[in-house]
């Protein structure tokens, strides 16, 4: 834990220091310094505009991530355990992962309007493919010897799934969840930029239109920080549920 914290802090210091230097050079008139961006972030936090924006952004984001997590893991398990399900559904998610999904947003707007449903759908189509494909791959590559050993001890199919397959596949499943959460955050902001300018997307769009680049970068920075917090919470959840699978660093 101490080593992980040191690495994360060192990375943050390096990135923020480079940001400050690049803003002071400057690399572009539209690129503010880190200090100016943090000042804008503090101002928006204190006046309540950022909190109000997240009140709108988090609705489709949280709903979409919950649907993607449960449906994605369930579908991934079905694909990984059943050859017919893999044949039927795996190509769909492979195409979804490779396709430019932003191009589907006009179709979603035509079908569901510009409300919450369309934004949730964008989050789902961004997050779900990577969760499904990682889960199915992890389940499919569970060591056969472990499953045969459990069967030889008269384990039921349910026991094999819950006590062998899922614990063995959990590292890759949670890797897929982390990637899915990252994609879901991208989808939430993309939906606000492309469907209706609300929430954090509205701050980004409005700040850019009036050349308030410090506020624009502050809003982008805040969504990145929130994504990092979500990812760390997922990591802690994995460590709690599957403590034996925490292998640490290769060099340890």
Predicted structure pTM score: 0.81
For 39-79, what is each residue's pLDDT tens digit?
999 999 999 889 999 988 888 899 999 999 999 999 999 88
> Residue 71's pLDDT is what?
92
User: 137: closest CA among 161, 162, 166, 173?
Assistant: 173
Please compute the mean of the pLDDT values over residues 118-135 and round it to a whole number: 90
Q: At what angle do helices 49-81 and 213-241 cross, to 10 degrees?
A: 40
Tokens read off for 21:
């230097």
> Residue 165's pLDDT is what?
85
For 195-226, what is each residue's pLDDT tens digit?
888 889 889 989 999 989 999 999 999 999 99
CA pair distance 214, 207, nearest whole angstrom? 8
Contact 76/135 with Cβ under 8 angstroms? Answer: yes
Domain boundaries, the chain: 37-243
> Residue 1's pLDDT is what?
58
User: 207: closest CA among 1, 67, 74, 32?
Assistant: 32
List the alpha helices (DSSP H) in 153-212.
157-160, 166-194, 199-209
Query: What is the fold, at CATH topology level, of the domain defined by 37-243?
Result: MetI-like fold (1.10.3720)
DSSP states of 34-68: HHHHHHHHHHHHHTTHHHHHHHHHHHHHHHHHHHH
Which residues, at least 6 apart from 53, have a Cβ–Cβ distance to it below 8 Å? 199, 200, 202, 203, 219
> Residue 249's pLDDT is what?
44
- pLDDT > 90: percent of the chain: 24
Contact 80/140 with Cβ under 8 angstroms? Answer: yes
């Amino acid at each position: 834990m101490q080593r992980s914290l040191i690495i994360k802090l060192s990375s943050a210091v390096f990135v923020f220091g480079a940001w400050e230097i690049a803003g002071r050079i400057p690399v572009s008139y539209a690129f503010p310094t880190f200090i100016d961006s943090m000042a804008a972030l503090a101002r928006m936090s204190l006046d309540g505009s950022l909190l109000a924006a997240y009140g709108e952004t988090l609705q489709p984001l949280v709903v979409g991530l919950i649907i993607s997590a449960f449906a994605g893991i369930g579908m991934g398990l079905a694909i990984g355990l059943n050859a017919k399900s893999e044949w039927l559904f795996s190509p769909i998610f492979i195409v979804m992962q490779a396709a430019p999904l932003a191009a589907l947003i006009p179709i979603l707007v035509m079908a569901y309007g510009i409300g919450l449903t369309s934004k949730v759908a964008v989050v789902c189509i961004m997050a779900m493919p990577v969760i499904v494909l990682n889960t199915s791959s992890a389940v499919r590559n569970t060591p056969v010897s472990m499953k045969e050993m459990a069967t030889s001890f008269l384990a039921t199919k349910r026991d094999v799934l819950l006590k062998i397959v899922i614990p063995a596949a959990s590292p890759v499943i949670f890797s897929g969840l982390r990637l899915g959460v990252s994609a879901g955050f991208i989808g939430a902001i993309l939906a606000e930029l492309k469907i209706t300018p609300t929430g954090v997307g509205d701050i980004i769009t409005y700040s850019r239109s009036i050349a308030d680049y410090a506020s624009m970068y502050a809003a982008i920075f805040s969504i990145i920080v929130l994504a990092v917090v979500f990812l760390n919470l997922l990591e802690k959840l994995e460590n709690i549920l599957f403590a034996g699978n925490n292998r640490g660093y290769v060099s340890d």
